[in-house]
Structure 1
Amino acid sequence: MSVAYTVSGLFVGVLVGLTGVGGGSLMTPLLTLLFGFSPATAVGTDLAFAAITKGFGTIAHRAHGHVQWQVVRRLCIGSLPAAVAAILVLKSAGELNAQWLHAIRLTIGVSVLLTVLSLLFRKQLLAWLARNPRFQLEGRSQAVATVAVGVVLGVLVTVSSIGAGAVGATLILLLYPHMKPAEVAGTDIAYAVPLTAIAGLGHVWLGTVDWNLLLALLVGSIPGIWLGAQLSRALPERLVRAALATTLTLVAIKLVS
């Protein structure tokens, strides 16, 4: 079975390399729907997986100066305490019963749908914001909104392991529309590292990380990300994103039904 996990890691890694998104939004549903892992184990293992892979991504982006550290700091002020609070709530629940597992599964489904919306309508949202500059936040209001976004993402990522990628990048871009695409990507990855690390450590504390599964996923995903990055030069991004959005929509429907 570990071969199947490695192949799944390879598949998800290729998609991440192609599009920059799809890690948590595909990995967690894949583990629950295809392999039958409990939602809690899928989330915990995927968070540990994300913390490792995003750590390498941050090193690369930092070397190129693509990280806006002020934005990272604001997001972390909101997301890190929110992640700790979410872990404590899960811990206080004790043994996760059927209702809790159903709630986590539902949260995963909603998070996947948010990822789809961010993939499909990001350009339209930015175009609307450009036509209506009065809605663009600045100064203190922008800082407060960034911290608030961090709180939402902290809870979402800790409970579902989804949201730090496409959803986070879209919200950053809406709050800071003048940032370059590479800066958005670098900033999104940089704030996600401490968030997924804390959330992942929390899930280690909860006992919801499957270490053998994590190793098998990493073995497949690391070369998969490299392969996807090479393929991205040949395949149209619009086509790949459309295919990813369609896949995620079907996954979300299955999760919430």
Structure 2
Amino acid sequence: MTTTRIDTVRGADGPPPPPRAGRNRLVGAALIVLSLAATLTCYFVFTTWLPNDRTLYREYKAAEACPARRVIPRSENCLRKVTFTVEGTRKTTKNMRATLLGPEPFPRMVVPFGDRGPVLSGLQQGDRVTGTVWRGVVVVVAEGDVRQNSADAPRDEPQMTAAVGTFAGLLAALALMFGAMLAVSQNKQVVRQAGLAGVNHLEHGPAGPAFWRFGREDRQNFWDATGNPRRDV
């Protein structure tokens, strides 16, 4: 009997907060942090990454052939054709590259490729190829009349970069929305009642029944809900 009385008193004071409330707040906070990171990523993509790629491509297309020099620098803002000898190749799906041996200042160049293409697929050790060097990297490899761009060659393909930024923006919005919902989930009943009261108040005005009160069986208007004392249950 004593135990039953104690439980009844505790029940009158209201149930303790559900154990999931703390976990929901933690998950909500983590989602909000994720939304901030995604927002920064989206900002970086559209303000730095995408403009830089576009500028790099325009500079590459505007580059002219390098003049003849007795001493060739490692990096030039022009296109220089150099004869290389193939040392070896890798043609697996995850690793497509050719290792080229050339004169100074390009004694050994590792050239990555995005696909096997028309040139890489036929290269063998000892083959002679012509590489186009721009700013210290090989951007084109040619064997006879067949040419193939390397993975280092600038490309006019902003779609993928823009897709990354768009995805980051959508992720930021969704993470912020669900994070905020979880962060306040323990107060969802209060929020729901407040929302209903606001809708009813707008519908009926101050004189209409819009508010629930403890100890009352029906809704009350604004003046009664704020002006009369609470009645004992």
Question: Shared topology, TM-score over 0.5?
Answer: no
Normalising by structure 2, what TM-score? 0.22
> Which of the pair has the greater relative contact order for Cα pairs under 8 Å at 6+ separation?
1
**Counting strand residues as a fraction of each chain, which structure ranks higher?**
2
**Counting helix residues as a fraction of each chain, which structure ranks higher?**
1
